[in-house]
Structure 1
Amino acid sequence: MDFVSSNINKYIEINNLISARKNSIKIGFKKMALKEIQSDSLLEVAEDKVLKAFKLNHKEAFVEDDGLFIETLNGFPGVYSSYINKTIGNAGILDLLGNKVNRNASFKSIIAFYDGHKIKSFTGEIKGKISFDLTNGGWGFDPIFVPENSKLSFGQMDLKMKNNISHRKVALDKFLDWYLNPALK
């Protein structure tokens, strides 16, 4: 089975999580830029991407799509997180928030799997806040997202610490619990 993404950082995190789990699976990495449909739903985007991945790769595949949802910005950037990160980046998000006191946010992740017969999707979410300042480290929105019960942003955490609590871990654990249990299929 392949994990399909254009983002090597996602693969590194997911492979690290899978490798740390006993009695798990082995995955390959297929680097592909899959065109995203325009949708306000992470689930729709992920499920469309996994169908495209299967069509191009001709074997079991899974993808991960995620978004940063900022409460005071009505959930923005949400499903548009990748585009927003590429265009205005973390500094732009901090500018949009300015000195707003409400900095509540959540990171959501969808893992979508397709085996040629049916799609199965799994959701993970972690709540936190957007920092007032850009921190060092990480990738994507890691330098500005501070998970609940932490003083560190994802960017300031090492991979093991981040992977213990991330939205991606929550979704991946649900996927692996299902995938590794034939009775649930």
Structure 2
Amino acid sequence: MSVDSIIFVTSNPHKAEEVRRIFKKYGLRFKIHSMKTLEVQSTSLAEIACISAAQAYANLEKPLFVEDSGLFIEALQGFPGPYSSYVYKTIGLDGVLKLVGDRREAVFKSVICLYGVEDRPLFFSGESRGRIAEEPRGRHGFGFDPIFIPRGSRKTLAEMSLDEKNRFSHRGRAVEGLVKWIYKDRGRSAGR
């Protein structure tokens, strides 16, 4: 597989830039295809990513990957989880902050589904443990970034530069897994 021919299917320009930055660090490139896929209702990020990837592959018939992520808040038994996008659009940051209470532990999870390169989908996952801030902080990022403080930092993801965020983020970790697979598949090391 030529990595330069791989397509990242997303309609989110913020995700595309985060992934592009990590690929660039390793001298890799990908093409972006903005496509809306059916919004699958599932409790599994992997299932959502896989179904979306299969839909995209049916249209494009080229190697591609799709990413899905969610914020899992422990005090809310993992809610909003795979429903994060919908929850963000409906009740927003303030609504989530009202629901959390005193137990603020949370984990951001990301799953990438690579489709069309082998006879089965390949999955790469990442997570970032942390806590929910008392109030939104920062002006970078998107979604729940202004209220998530990753373990090992005092800043929310929205207070970080993109490169700093990628070192802490769930998506950054999933993309690093994909990059390692690409280099393994190409018979090289993913070292810089």
Do both proteins adopt the same fold according to a TM-score greater than 0.5, normalized to the shorter chain? yes
CA gap of 1:183–1:20, structure 2 versus 1, over 3 A, is closer
The corresponding residue for 1:45 is 48
Residues 1:168 and 2:186 are matched in the alignment = no
Task: Provide the identity percentage.
Answer: 39
Q: Give the AA of the match of 2:75.
A: T
Size of the aligned set, in residue pairs, is: 180
Once residues 179 and 160 of structure 1 are traced to their aligned partners in structure 2, the CA distance between those partners, rounded to angstroms, is: 21
The runs of 5 or more residues in structure 1 that have no matched partner are: none
In the alignment, the residues of structure 1 paired with residue 89 and residue 59 of structure 2 have an alpha-carbon distance, to the nearest angstrom, of 26
1:9 aligns with one of 9, 14, 20: 14
Q: Match for residue 66 of structure 1?
A: 69
User: How far has the Cα of 1:136 moved from its partner?
Assistant: 2.6
1:35 paired to 2:38 = yes
Note closer, same or farther for the CA distance 1:153–1:182 as it changes in structure 2 (3 Å cut).
Answer: same
CA 131–62 in structure 1, closer or farther in 2 if over 3 Å, else same: same
Question: Residue 80 of structure 1 aligns with which residue?
Answer: 83
Letter in 1 for 2:108: F
The separation in 2 between residues aligned to 1:165 and 1:56, in whole angstroms, is 34
TM superposition shift of 1:180: 2.0
1:25 Cα shift? 2.6
- What code does the residue aligned with 1:27 have? F
Higher deviation after alignment, 88-97 or 124-133 = 88-97
- The whole-number CA distance in structure 2 between the counterparts of 1:25 and 1:57 is 21
How far has the Cα of 1:58 moved from its partner? 1.6
Q: Quick one: distance in 1 between partners of 2:7 and 2:132?
A: 33
Name the CA distance, whole Å, in 2 between partners of 1:26 and 1:18.
Answer: 6
1:103 aligns with 2:108: no
Between the aligned partners of 1:182 and 1:90, the Cα distance in structure 2 is 40
1:135-146 matches, within 5 Å, as 135-137=137-139, 138-146=141-149
Q: Does 1:91 align with 2:94?
A: yes
RMSD: 1.4
Q: List structure 1 runs of 4+ shifted beyond 2 angstroms.
A: none
CA contact (8 A) 1:131 1:146 kept: yes
1:183 shift after superposition:
7.7
Conserved? CA contact 1:129–1:147, under 8 Å: yes
> 1:53-73: CA deviations, max 9, x gaps?
111112100011000000000
For residues 122-142 of structure 1, the C-alpha deviation after alignment (integer angstroms, 9 at most, x for no partner) is 110010000011113121000
Return the alpha-carbon distance in structure 2 between the equivalents of residues 31 and 106 of structure 1. Answer: 27
Deviation at 1:118, TM superposition (A): 1.9
Asked if 2 retains the 8 angstrom alpha-carbon contact of 1:5 and 1:34, the reply is no
The answer to whether the 8 A contact 1:6-1:34 is kept is no
Helix, strand or coil at the partner of 1:132 = coil
Aligned amino acid, residue 112 of structure 2: I
